[in-house]
Amino acid sequence: MIHLPKDIHIIIHNFLKLPSSITITNQDIKDSFIDNRNLKMVLYTKKDKDAFLDKYKKDLHTLYLLIQKYSYYENEYRRNEPISSILIDLLCAGSLLPYAYSNHYVFTNDTFEDLKEIIRIAPHSLTSNYGQLRCRYYLSPLDMACHNINVPMYAIEYMLSQGADMYHYYEFNGCKTHILEDCIGEIRENNIKQLFEKKGFDSEKMKINSTLHYRRYRDMYG
């Protein structure tokens, strides 16, 4: 055991932590777990319980198990970037839409708890654009949740509270499209629009973004 100031413990731990990236691999998670386990052995005695390193290792173990649980895209496409697709699998649960693939057939309370755990441990998973539906590409987890009628509104509200991007655009038949411009059913669309507005959605900002996307599309394709 080495006696070092607590501030040094945190500095070393921050160096060994997983980066805030959706491109981390399963091996990155295993390596980080081993590194922090070894760090615990160096800095603490066996009598020291519930150190912050123990909590971090527990989070890594939980994340690893959740990756195995929501692994459709990893198993199918072998990209070795599980964080980029974990929420896509989860938020396609029960969906009958074309290309909305998932290992799960229903969105339950347990699914919602898994959603919260994934976002807590890997908040950058919300920035993924790995989602895909018929004629639609680069959808975010929020977009996938809005399209899936089996995902309850409280789950979407939770995602928004955790920083999900309300202004994300995806491709629909090659054109940039916002979720509120797509066909998701009148009642659900109204509920989502009200929820977005409750969270401070600015339609004028969306119009500005839409204009910028249109100009880029025009410059690229004429």
What's the confidence (pLDDT) of residue 91?
98
Residue 75 and residue 89 in contact, taking contact as beta carbons nearer than 8 Å: no
Examine residue 148 and state whether it is found in any structural domain, yes or no. Answer: yes
Examine residue 180 and state whether it is found in any structural domain, yes or no. Answer: yes
Examine residue 186 and state whether it is found in any structural domain, yes or no. Answer: yes
Examine residue 61 and state whether it is found in any structural domain, yes or no. Answer: no
pLDDT tens-place string over residues 61-100: 999 999 999 999 999 998 889 999 999 999 999 999 999 9
Pairing verdict, β 169-172 and 136-139: antiparallel
Extract the tokens encoding 17: 């932590």
Q: What is the DSSP letter of 159?
A: H
Report the C-alpha gap between 65 and 95 in whole angstroms.
23
Domain that holds residue 96: 70-221
Report the C-alpha gap between 45 and 41 in whole angstroms.
7
What's the confidence (pLDDT) of residue 17?
85
Top pLDDT among 183 and 169 is at 169
Residue 129 above 70 pLDDT? yes
Report pTM.
Answer: 0.86
Examine residue 7 and state whether it is found in any structural domain, yes or no. Answer: no
Examine residue 192 and state whether it is found in any structural domain, yes or no. Answer: yes
